[in-house]
Amino acid sequence: MSALTDLIFAGSNAVAGLTEKAVADAIAKHGEDAKVAFPDTAYFFPTIYAATGVKVAKLGDLPACVNVLKSLITNKPELGDALNAGLATAVGAEILEGLKYLESANPYEGDSGIGFVPDPIIRSLGVPLVTGDIPGVAVVLGKAESAQDVVGVVKDYQSKGLMTFLVGDVIEQVAEGGVKLGLEFRVVPLGHDVTSVIHVVTVAVRAALIFGSLQPGDLAGLLKYTKERVPAFVNTFGPIDEVVVSAGAGAIALGFPVVTDIDLGENQVPGALESETDHSLTVKKSLELRGIKIKVKELPIPVAFASAFEGEIIRKKDMKVEFYSGKNVTCELVRMADPDSIEDHRIVVDGPEIDSGEVEYPLATFVEVAGAKMQADFESVIERHIHAWFNYMEGVMHTGQRNQVRIRISKDAFDKGLRLHHFGEVLYAMIMDEFDTVVDKCQVTLVTDPAKAEHILKDIATPVYNQRDDRLQSMTDESVDTFYTCTMCQSFAPSHVCIVTPERLGLCGAVSWLDAKATNELNPSGPCQIVTKQHMIDERTGRYEDVNEAVKQYSHGALENVTLYSLLEDPMTSCGCFECICGIIPEANGLVIVNREYSGMTPTGMTFGELASMTGGGVQTPGFMGHGRHFISSKKFARAEGGVERIVWMPKELKDDVAERLNRTAKELCGIDNFTDMIADETVTTDPAELVDFLTEKGHPALTMDPIM
């Protein structure tokens, strides 16, 4: 037996012993019926659930799991046996971590790690992962001999947009090295115990359940999914003990290669477990092993530029200058121009640069683009990216759009030499990179002169905004000749297809009909394909022969019939990354909608996570449907079931967010004023009987509609 497999079995046996004792102690203390659960998940102990189908809910469920765990440890020298022992370690770690949540609701309070990652966060990662915005997931574990080594590696991952999870003393090393930690920076500390590495494993496991429609108990299917679809890998720093080694074997079993910074010599397993003692090569080696390719963007600006900086917040005390609509004229506009009227790559700052000594400036960002294939409809699609592109600059914060924006530049970025003309370089480079199919020429004018900025806002931008709003208002499913597919999420949910229409955006909320149209134009063989709509079968439910054919083709036969407007009759499928989910509440003869951000209870007796677990993976589940926020105020929302009038409950934040548009729709469709006043939220009740009382008192229309089921 090799030294390596010896170590793996030693680690697994140690974890098995610890787990068995911890379970016995917990039962002795709390009794078999004591409930155990991770917070905010519908997948129980996710690894155990996915691998065996067992739904751990109370302490009494655990001894059987410990037996399964022990049976995985054969102590035989073959690689397969060693990998199974690694899985046993994962199961043990999951149980040990789960027991922490028995002792305290928030066992990670006081630790710099976050512990268990709730389901909604995983769902929110769906779109960035499928678009390649997050190209991979790194797990960095241990304690580096020299802190700089790990700081350099993590910064490199951050600048490449990867999501990095930290376990062990590397957390402090990285924090002290000046790396900002948090989900928004894509550097997430999990915890100090090596068992906390399970919290990233369960992310991968739940991805299989949420997006991959994995059947619980299908261990082979689970391992295939994580290997093929979850682009994760592990880096260890510093000496590794037997438990780390056996955890590493678990990672390898899931298909995640491990790169360690100690020399393993002949114990290396090519492609799965490799040594890299030169830390300047760790990143390259890891990405190669996992087959992750990074598109590098070299921009002529003095600060870093990466999607990982998108969530950066710049506080007043750290800010050098600000452009804020509340104080000065600001606007952002992308406009199609006559090719002869603009000069490619011309970047002009019209008015003072930001080193003129002021703190606050007006700013009109005016981008003119021209190209043979450019269409006015793509202006807003490009314009919407300004928000992200500005945010990608380290030391720049951008919120809002159009004439309602706030942009801050940090002192740090200013000191590094960042000026407004660099903003122009960023816009130019990104537009030419991402929209090269439709844009041949691009000119950027950044206006800080107050009178000139005012002129751009009043005479150019405002009329364009108004025109666009009118166009969007008048754009209905009936007014266009084509819909589009979106199959972007197939990398995680292989049989899922969104059908995107003017009145129904993609369920992730990120793909409108105009976006899909632009995507199709930019990449004709890409994820957004044209769907004709010549053969309507049924108007009420939005059933088309053409749509069915498209869905059948692009789901590779997994799906044959889909309606656009019904939630009960062949509803559209969900991949898992939906912004909201709606479900039927029979007691109130209506629909409850809940958004990903809301973690509380709903009158259906289920949380967002629990409702969300009823659907996903490209499977149809009548009665539950994922959708985007904007769809709520659509005239086509659940039209077959009676439309928006069916909505009886939403979390308050969501209700407030959609109120204006939803009230307008309700007024137009059914003549109701201030409809959202009739809709309950968590401040009213989460109890079905009280909900009905509330609706009765308000005279909510759902109560007198045809029975929903």
Binding stretches for ligand SF4 (CB under 6 A): 127, 486-489, 498, 500, 506-508, 510-511, 575, 577
- Sorted by sequence, the CB contacts under 8 Å of residue 182 that are 6+ apart come out as 188, 311
Q: Min. distance of Cβ 616 from ligand SF4 in angstroms?
A: 11
Choice from 154, 207, 577, 691 touching Zn ion (CB under 5 A):
577
Q: Which does 136 bind (CB under 5 to 8 A by kind): ligand SF4, Zn ion, none?
A: none
380: left (phi over 0), alpha (psi -120 to 50) or beta: alpha
163 DSSP β-pair partners: 137
> Which residue's CB is nearer to ligand SF4, number 368 or number 570?
570
Of 510 and 703, the one with the shorter C-beta distance to Zn ion is 510
154 touches Zn ion (CB under 5 A): no
The one of ligand SF4, Zn ion, none whose footprint includes residue 166, by CB under 5 to 8 A per kind, is none
Residue 163 near residue 204, CB atoms below 8 Å: no
Cβ neighbours for 467, distance < 8 A, ≥ 6 positions apart: none
Q: Which does 230 bind (CB under 5 to 8 A by kind): ligand SF4, Zn ion, none?
A: none
Residue from 222, 164, 166 nearest 193 by CA: 166
CB 200 within 8 A of CB 232: yes
CB of 574 to ligand SF4, least distance (A): 8
Query: In this complex, which beta carbon is closest to ligand SF4, that of residue 431 or of residue 486?
Result: 486
Instruction: Decide: helix, strand or coil at residue 226.
Output: helix
486 binds, among Zn ion, ligand SF4, none (CB under 5 to 8 A by kind): ligand SF4
| 344: nearest Cα among 484, 441, 470 | 441
Kindly state the smallest distance separating residue 510's Cβ from ligand SF4, in Å: 5
Q: Which is nearer to Zn ion, 249 or 577 (CB)?
A: 577
CA distances from 295 to 134, 159, 166, 298, 681 (A): 11, 11, 24, 10, 44
Nearest residue (CB) to ligand SF4, 555 versus 633: 555
Q: What is the spatial order of strands in the sheet that 647-649 belongs to? A: 624-627, 580-585, 590-595, 647-649
Cβ-proximal residue to ligand SF4, closest one: 506
Touching Zn ion, residues 448-507 (CB under 5 A): 489
Does 572 sit near Zn ion (CB under 5 A)?
no
Phi/psi of residue 154, nearest 5 degrees = -65, -40
User: Residue 423 is encoded by which pair of tokens?
Assistant: 């903003």
Question: Going edge to edge, which strands form the sheet with 404-410?
Answer: 319-324, 404-410, 396-401
Yes or no: say if 450 and 362 are a contact pair by the CB < 8 Å rule: yes
> Of 222 and 500, which CB lies nearer to ligand SF4 in the complex structure?
500
Q: Cα 560 vs. chain centroid, distance in angstroms?
A: 28
Nearest approach, Cβ of residue 347 and ligand SF4 (Å): 32
Instruction: Write down the least CB distance from residue 327 to ligand SF4, Å.
Output: 36
Chain-centroid distance, C-alpha 129: 7
Q: How far is the CB of 136 from Zn ion (least distance, A)?
A: 18
Q: Residue from 137, 572, 575, 584 that binds Zn ion (CB under 5 A)?
A: 575
Size of the site for Zn ion (CB under 5 A): 4
511 binds, among ligand SF4, Zn ion, none (CB under 5 to 8 A by kind): ligand SF4
Closest distance between Zn ion and the C-beta of residue 505, in Å?
13
Considering beta carbons, is residue 559 or 702 the nearer one to ligand SF4? 559
Choose from ligand SF4, Zn ion, none: what does 488 bind? Cβ within 5-8 Å by kind: ligand SF4
* Least distance from Zn ion to the Cβ atom of residue 616, Å: 9
Do 190 and 203 meet the contact criterion of CB atoms below 8 Å apart?
A: no
Shorter beta-carbon distance to ligand SF4: residue 216 or 616: 616
| N-to-C CA span, the chain | 63
* DSSP conformational letter for 181: P
How far apart CA 235 and CA 496 sit, in angstroms, is: 33
Nearer to ligand SF4, 309 or 492 (CB): 492
Region binding Zn ion by CB under 5 A among candidate stretches 170-178, 282-290, 554-562, 573-581? 573-581
C-beta of 127: minimal distance to Zn ion in Å?
6
What is the amino acid identity at position 483? F
Q: If binding is defined by CB under 5 A, does position 407 make contact with Zn ion?
A: no
Q: Concatenate the DSSP letters of all residues of 693-708 into one string.
A: HHHHHHT-GGGGSPP-
Q: Should residue 257 be labelled a site residue for Zn ion when binding is judged by CB under 5 A?
A: no
Give the DSSP per-residue string, 359-395.
Answer: SB--EEEEEEEE-TT--THHHHHHHHTHHHHHHHBTT
* Cβ nearer to ligand SF4, comparing 187 with 488: 488
Q: Which helix (H) or strand (E) segment is 708 a member of?
A: none
Nearer to ligand SF4, 590 or 618 (CB): 618
467, amino acid identity: Q
The answer to whether 306 contacts Zn ion (rule: CB under 5 A) is no
Please report how close the Cβ of residue 44 comes to ligand SF4 at its closest, in angstroms: 26
Spatial separation of the C-alpha atoms in residues 626 and 581, rounded to whole Å: 4
Q: How many CB atoms lie within 10 A of CB 159?
A: 18
301 binds, among Zn ion, ligand SF4, none (CB under 5 to 8 A by kind): none
Of residues 118-147, which lie at the interface with Zn ion (CB under 5 A)?
126
Smallest distance, Å, CB 632 to Zn ion? 18
Least CB distance from residue 538 to ligand SF4, whole Å? 23
Strands (E), 230-306: 232-237, 258-260, 273-275
Q: Are strands 346-350 and 441-447 parallel, antiparallel or unpaired?
A: parallel
User: With respect to ligand SF4, which residue has the nearer C-beta, 456 or 505?
Assistant: 505
Question: Is-contact 324 406, C-beta < 8 A?
Answer: yes
Nearest to 446 by CA among 456, 460, 432: 456
Cα separation, 405 vs 421, in Å, equals 18
* 501-526 burial: b if 16+ Cβ within 10 Å, else e: bbbbbbbbbbbbbbbbbbbbbbeeee
Q: In terms of CB distance, is 56 or 508 closer to ligand SF4? A: 508
Comparing CB distances to Zn ion, the nearer of 174 and 575 is 575
CB 493, min distance to ligand SF4, A: 8
Instruction: Return the one option of Zn ion, ligand SF4, none that residue 413 interacts with (CB less than 5 to 8 A, by type).
Output: none
What, of Zn ion, ligand SF4, none, does residue 498 touch, CB below 5 to 8 Å by kind?
ligand SF4
Q: Are 634 and 509 in contact (CB under 8 A)?
A: no
- For residue 101, the minimal CB distance to ligand SF4 (Å) is 31
Nearest to 501 by CA among 550, 537, 458, 463: 550
Beta bridge partners of 446: 349, 365
Give least dist CB 117 to ligand SF4, A: 20
Of residues 325 and 490, the one with the C-beta less far from Zn ion: 490
CA distance 214 to 532: 32
Q: Which is nearer to ligand SF4, 65 or 575 (CB)?
A: 575
Q: How far is the CB of 226 from Zn ion (least distance, A)?
A: 18
Residues that bind Zn ion (CB under 5 A): 126, 489, 575, 577
